[in-house]
Structure 1
Amino acid sequence: MLSPESAATVRATLAVIGANIDDITARFYSMMFTDNPELLRDLFNRGNQANGEQRRALAGSIAAFAATLVQTPQARPATMLDRIAHKHASLNVTSDQYVIVHKYLFAAIADVLGDAVTPDVAQAWDEVYWLMAGELIGREAVLRRDAKTDWITATVIERRAETPDVVSLVLRPSVPASFLPGQYVSVVVPLPDGARQIRQYSLSCAPERGDWRITVKRVRGGDTPDGEVSNRLYEDVVPGDVLTVSAPFGDLVLRPGDTPLLLVSAGIGVTPMLSMVDHLAATGSTRRVTVVHADRSPACHAHREELERLVAALPGAGLHRWYEEGCDGAGAPANSGQADLTGLDLPDGVQVYLCGPLPFMRAVRSQLAGRGVPSSDIHYEVFGPDLWLAQD
């Protein structure tokens, strides 16, 4: 909890910090990477740095945490903190790296705001930072302890083309480790320029299968850093190759129980939902399950036939699909156009799991809110930096 003096200062300066936080974070990253180029080369996502998403995510998380401290001091933005902690644990972020971030972040604040950063202001925001860092360091330590390992190796034992732009890779980890339906692993990929970039991929099968499986989508177009890791996995990895991976992490996990489920995905966001459906089928679940998926076309729908088969194996489950470019070759009945949940039968107490592009998830969440589904019953996964912090 913030001291009363710092809480008053943060409350008085929150708007000023918020108005300048994009400039602050841009300056912060510029200084930190200039002095520590290995962080950009081997830890931070170069694509997200290039398009500005990482800066906006950092700004949003700090602003959200500070606002919570002064508006509801007894509470914490738990969903946001858990999501960041799982991501950091999967990257093997260490506590000493929080010291580095602190150094350059506060230098950036001083650079951007100048004389407005009085000793009292600096002290108050220092408290905010270390309260947030302390929460994350503690959560990450627990996650790493439970994982019992940092980086391990995994051998590719199968490669399968799912669509013209998507492949699945079945992995056999060197250290047996279970996971929860919906979780992901980080994959370390050495690149031609010597960088060691890390990306997260959802495990797209049930834990009961034993081996792991990730599904990788190639990102076409241009020479930007976006997609450099996925493209390399798509183009170069074959059975017999050995990858460096993390233990499974991720806070979007299927909760046990008998409540009805609504699993909603778009595009490659089908992967965590596929793990959940596969788990339900493998365990003989009798939960009421409704699965919704949207994609550009049936040909672009990765794991389409597998999803149909798994849903058909669940008693009373229903599958609803929408394709923007028509339904030819879709197999089972499908709908044309954008996903529309307004006509779905939603039972009381339904728990919603959601994954896909941000505009899609916002649209779905709006539809669900209009149907009276509480936001606390909607659980979501964001690929890349979490830009949906206001929904926490």
Structure 2
Amino acid sequence: MPVRQRPAVGLPGLVGTARVDRRTRTLVPRLRPGDIAVLEQVDLDRATAQALVDAGVAAVVNAVPMISGRYPNLGPQVLVDAGVPLVDGIGAAGLAAVGDGRTVRLHDGSVYDGEVLLAAGRAVDAATVETELEAARGGLVTQLETFTHNSTEFLRREQDLLLHGRGVPRLHTSVAGRPVVVVVRGQDHERELAGIRRFLREQDPVLIGVGGGAEALRAAGFRPDVVVLDAHADDAELPGAATLKAARDVVVRTDRGAGRAHLESLERLGIRPSVVESAATPEDAALIVADAAEAAVIVGVGMHTTLADFLDRQRTGLASTYLTRLKVGHRLVDADAVPHLYSGRVRPWHLLLVLLAGLVALAAALSVTPVGHDWLDALADLLQGLPT
């Protein structure tokens, strides 16, 4: 639960330490419970909002609108449901006025240092989020038109990779004909991993961790066979050295023509990574690699599955996600579906129970027949004749 500090004596509102950064990727690792996150991200997405909730922030202040109206983004609803107070629209000047590490007070959509007004915005409550999300659903048509154009451009640039598999690295891990589980540190990934634990134990699938998903596998007691990284990811998003060294394959997604300078840190650890040059997201690169290796089935953990999820992700990754799903759709299964489709392997003790149940039923049937009565009488006489 977020930790909220007491307001200054005699002054209303919520008091906390401001952590300021325009880039949420670099802001989230610095947050501590009770901090007030001050950022600049229009249309706050669900993944970022969940990261803020997990960090235990006391409030979130945004320089720009939480919901612009272009599409119904899911982040504000996550924060409201978690009971995190929201303020948006303080502007670039307000963002600059709130110093990083400064103790500030939030009241009625404004940010104060004691009694001094630093920035003015608006308070965003549950009713505001509900109203604006409903209005934003009208913007889906425009977003889908843009998405169609972006998908065409992405397919034109990545047709060799998507359609012909050119540029997909060969893995040392044996994948052909085996199930593969691709884990992304996303919404509900821990719950989904717990739900397929029996499948993981009994089917011995190839485990692919994407970025922080590799650490999620380690935390659940499993060792990733393959780790897929983004060459441009921040250090906070990368798995630890022990996790990388334990994997049989490390695959790095990088932009075309980017060179190998970004691989030096891995090579210093004694790791020789494979490279996928593509504009696809690391998550989608992992699916493409598993599909090219002829996996029997691919189970996705923590991935985006609905239209709202797709639209809520970064705009640059939307076309990649859509086309990759079309490419691997005949193999891809969402982790939530696995418990409904897989009831577990038949074990010898299962057969023994069936056999015992059959014997009991047979004995009960024989006991009501004349032959059964004769056998029971003979058995009783035999038992009485035994020495005591």
TM-score relative to the length of structure 1? 0.28
Q: Determine which structure has greater relative contact order: mean sequence separation of CA pairs < 8 Å that are 6+ residues apart, divided by chain length.
A: 1
Decide which structure has the larger Cα Rg and report it.
2
